[in-house]
Amino acid sequence: MGYASLLLDPMLRQLILATALGLMLLEYGIGRLARHDTHDWRESAASFGVALGQSLLRAIEAGLLAVPFAFLYEHRLFDFAQTTPVALAGLFLGSEFLYYWQHRASHRIRWMWATHAVHHSTTRLNLTAAIRLGWTGNISGNFLFFLPLALIGFHPFAIVAMLGINLLYQFFIHSQFGPKLGVFEWVLNTPSHHRVHHACNEPCLDKNYGGILIVFDRLFGTFAEHPSDQPLRFGLVGGVQSFNPIRIALGEWIAMLDDAWRAPGAGAKLRALFGPPGG
């Protein structure tokens, strides 16, 4: 299949990296010229530190993560051509649907929030925030949501490629400069929708979970527009800003496990681990 060569092509990876870095510098320059408070260099440097750690861990874990996907694909329910328009459309919609629920669970289950909180810990929304991803996604169980795609019959490389496209698209919507996109705002997750998702204003909390599409938020009641009566604020509710990548990556895990340790009784301990964050 062509998926493996696409994912492993070093020239393609280098091109994507160079483009991302160029856009980050361009965004920073525009922010400076426009005198917008879009960046804190210490926060951006910390995001690069978090991204480096996440990339190293992802490379180490790749072999282990491949096992359950390969097993389910080996016992798949259906055989079909992977690159037909129908199959690609099915993979796209299926991955978007499962991503919505994985993302929603990451906000509502503290065990998963311990990883995802890393991404929401920036107080400035810019392209460097897009690369601040948690180190413990597999411990949180994010991959479990996408296993049904392999059981249906989608090749693991196809699943990884489609999720990679999802993340690549989302890189571009982590900006305060993205304009409204007219009619596309009804279907796509746009910069304006994602700014709401990252905001810590009360009307914005736990909204706009979509990856590329925003339609599942509209269907399941988690869509929100920018509140017209208040400017957006970013960062964790009640969070303390840190510029230490290790503290950023592991701070919520430490707080969660400490809460569980101190909680009286098994029920309270389970709620501290698997209840809603802040609940």
DSSP-derived secondary structure for 68-106: HHHHHHHT-S----TTSHHHHHHHHHHHHHHHHHHHHHH
| Rg, C-alpha atoms of the chain | 19
Mean pLDDT of 19-23: 88
pLDDT of 10 reads 62
239 phi-psi bin (left φ>0, alpha ψ -120 to 50, beta other): beta
User: What are 101's two structure tokens?
Assistant: 């629920």
141 phi-psi bin (left φ>0, alpha ψ -120 to 50, beta other): left
* Residue 122 to residue 236: CA distance in whole angstroms: 8
Of residues 2 and 236, more confidently modeled: 236
User: What are 108's two structure tokens?
Assistant: 């509502």
Range from 59-63, 172-176, 193-197 that averages highest in pLDDT: 193-197
Q: Residue 31: CB partners within 8 Å, gap ≥ 6?
A: 37, 38, 39, 126, 177
Which 3 state secondary structure label does DSSP give 240? coil
* Residue 208 to residue 32: CA distance in whole angstroms: 29
58: enclosing H helix or E strand: helix 41-74
The answer to whether the CB of 72 falls within 8 A of the CB of 151 is yes
Mean pLDDT of 168-180: 88
Average pLDDT over the chain, rounded to whole? Answer: 92
pLDDT of 62 reads 84
pLDDT for 51-110, tens place per residue? 999 999 988 888 889 999 999 999 999 999 999 999 999 999 999 999 999 999 999 999
pTM: 0.93
Mean pLDDT of 264-270: 95
Every domain of the chain and the residues it spans: 41-274
Q: Give the distance from CA 38 to its chain's centroid.
A: 20
pLDDT for 205-229, tens place per residue? 999 999 999 999 999 999 999 998 8
The answer to whether the CB of 272 falls within 8 A of the CB of 256 is yes
